[in-house]
Amino acid sequence: MFAEHAAECRAFADEANDTLRKLRTAPVGERSDLSSAAYSLLRQADESLKSMQMEARASPELRREEELLRKEMRRLADELETVQRELLLGAELGMDKLFLAREERRRTTASTASLQNGCDKLREARRQTQESENIGIETLQELRRQREVIMSSKDKTNQLGDNLGQSQQSLKNLEAPACSVM
């Protein structure tokens, strides 16, 4: 399977190389199409290299061959970009993303995962903040209700104290000997 991918990748590389040679001498009207064709071939070669990566893990020899092909594809991508600049096509087709080494792919994947993890943590923090705010509001409402109960009890206790004082005064008046003046 690796050999098939390698042969396919080399075929794309050869075809892209031929297209690049044609691109340098092509009439102005054909340059855009040839540039797009070369880019398309390089993208197909990149897909083959991605498939080869999985198989290349098993053997150091396969890894070396895969790296050599990757370097060749990178050289062709750089050459296409140079030709585009020279011919003033100005079309940046994203050559910098083709034929990235395995480590670079891992780094970008890790960065993406890290950003996603950060977003998830922010969502969780927002949810917890909202939950805390709701609990705080409920606590304040309960404290207000308890304050009203305490104030009402205090008012009733004061009123009871006043009534008790009046009752004691009335009892003292009743117990006092009646003084008669005769």
What confidence tens digit (pLDDT) does each residue in 104-146 have?
A: 778 888 899 999 999 999 999 999 999 999 999 999 999 999 9
DSSP assignment of 5-67? HHHHHHHHHHHHHHHHHHHHHS-HHHHHHHHHHHHHHHHHHHHHHHHHHHHHTT-HHHHHHHH
**pTM of the shown model:** 0.46
Q: Would you kindly state where each structural domain of the chain is located, as residue ranges?
A: 2-100, 104-150
Q: What is the pLDDT along the chain (182 residues), one digit of tens a residue?
A: 777 878 888 888 888 888 888 887 888 778 788 888 888 888 888 888 787 777 777 777 877 888 888 888 888 888 888 877 777 644 444 455 556 667 777 888 889 999 999 999 999 999 999 999 999 999 999 999 999 999 999 999 999 999 999 999 998 888 877 666 65
Q: Domain 2-100 maps to which CATH number in 1.10.10, 2.20.28, 3.40.1420, 1.20.58?
A: 1.20.58
